[in-house]
Amino acid sequence: MIKTYLNKLKELSLSDIFNIPVAIQECYKCGEPEPAYTRYKHVPICGNCYEELEICGYCERRQLNITDGICEPCRTNSAVIEGCDYKPQTIFHRIQPNRLGKPPLVTDSGHYLSGQSERKRWYEHYGVEIECDHHFDGGEIVWTGNRIASLINLIGKGMTSKEKLLYTKRDGTALIEIVSHPFSWNYFTRYGKEIFRVLFDKLKENNLYAHWARDCGFHVHVSRRAISPINIYKLALFLYREENYQFNLDVSQRSEGRLEQWASLDQPASKRTLIRACRNYEIATYEIDRYTALNLQNRNTIEFRIFRGTLNFNTFRKNLEFVRSLVKWVDVTSISTIDKDGGLSSYLEFLQRNYNDYENLCYFLSKPETDRKPYANFPVIMERWNREHSSSGLQLVFNSDKRELEPCV
């Protein structure tokens, strides 16, 4: 039998062997029996019809199913929920002074060269980790898996559809954790605010929670190399001073038990060790617990861990403004000022001078609530907000996922 088959092959030319007639499926779009130029999930499209397909505004490919400029693969399968240890290549988002009228700069570099020696100088970037989960009383989450990860991926593409701000991970204490790539403050104020507002709206529409979940936190990272070691020490000193305990607890909006568990306000080491850890992350890795108010174990960032989780946009901004205001305040404040009485009065005076840069934080600190006293009075902010938002009929509550102010028209 082998000889028979070999003889048959011997008699056939290569064209006889390979040119076998193939049944041609009809083109999905025009219905004609044309050879398939490409296939979408086994659906054939001929060459002429392919050129007529709409191009997706995100992946920039011609696709079959496009609605509102977004194709079906981008909506449902453009991202996955990554593992807890997932760390992609860092992508920095910022706006340079000479690009204010242009799209944001998206780059893999967090520094620039300065001076005749072309020394590296590091931009001040921020990053966030947003944990969210079921409501503590339960509740059904509509979309999960690749669909919710893909939605978050699309939102993170921002105003230009070319940005790459957000990705999604699994988390040990929450259902999902949404992580941002680093962004400058200018990027946040010009582009990022709208991204995070849309993100929070869609997460809540999907019945996700953070403040009213069982155990969600919100962490803020700041570029370590953009802050001098002495200023990092000042930040730690302010957070760990006993005189500031109640203030930092109130700003965190956590319970004392949760704060102690995940972001303790107790000084984690001796003064000498803490100073050394502010200079070198490896010392922090071996000498200091990471579950403290200021985690110093990361090579490239310092991490503020104190905040309770939130999907309230005003609370989110309050938290970010607290971190940035502290970073700016320690830059103009001496260690002796913090050593004297904890530095809280000096910090509040700094906010009084710069209230326009930290509106949500100043409103929070001047608004009395049942569980805390006001720390300062910012009459311009209070008057402005009451005037701008009085017609909305919605009273802002910071300790809720949903009681936020609508954006001004």
* Domain 92-354, architecture per CATH: 2-Layer Sandwich (3.30)
Residue with tokens 């920039």: 60
Say if CB 381 and CB 359 are below 8 A apart.
yes
**Predicted pLDDT at 26:** 87
Nearest to 199 by CA among 235, 225, 163, 238: 163
pLDDT of residue 345: 96
Neighbours of 43 (CB within 10 A): 14
The closest alpha carbon to 317, from 200, 163, 231, belongs to 200
| Half-sphere exposure in the Cβ direction for 367 (13 Å, CA) | 20
pLDDT at 99: 67
Domain extent listing, the chain: 22-77, 92-354
Residue 263: what residue type?
A
pTM: predicted TM-score of the whole model, two decimal places: 0.90
Roughly what angle, to the nearest 10 degrees, separates helices 344-353 and 359-366?
Answer: 120
pLDDT of residue 388: 82
User: Strand 166-169 vs strand 217-223: parallel, antiparallel, or unpaired?
Assistant: unpaired
Which residues in the chain land under pLDDT 70? 1-3, 99-100, 113, 115-119, 370, 390-394, 408-409
Distance CA(280)–CA(296), nearest Å, equals: 8
Q: Give me the phi and psi of 63, to 5 degrees please.
A: -135, 160
| Listed residue (161, 230, 209, 179) closest to 310, CA to CA | 209
Q: How far is residue 123 from each of residues 185, 189, 231, 328, 390, measured CA to CA in Å?
A: 10, 16, 15, 14, 39
Contacts of 175 (CB under 8 A, 6+ apart): 132, 133, 134, 141, 208
Q: Scan for tokens 């004297």, then name that residue.
A: 340
pLDDT at residue number 409: 46
Model pLDDT, residue 385: 87
Greatest extent of the chain over all pairs of C-alpha atoms, in Å: 101
Q: Measured between alpha carbons, how far is 69 from 145 in angstroms, rounded to an integer?
A: 23
CA 271/CA 275 separation, integer angstroms: 6
| Residues whose CB falls within 8 Å of the CB of residue 81, separated by 6 or more in sequence, listed in order | 145, 146, 148, 149, 168, 169, 170, 176
Within 65-175, strands assigned E span 66-67, 70-71, 92-94, 105-107, 111-114, 119-122, 125-132, 166-169
Cα 292 to Cα 28, 241, 259: the distances in Å are: 59, 13, 9
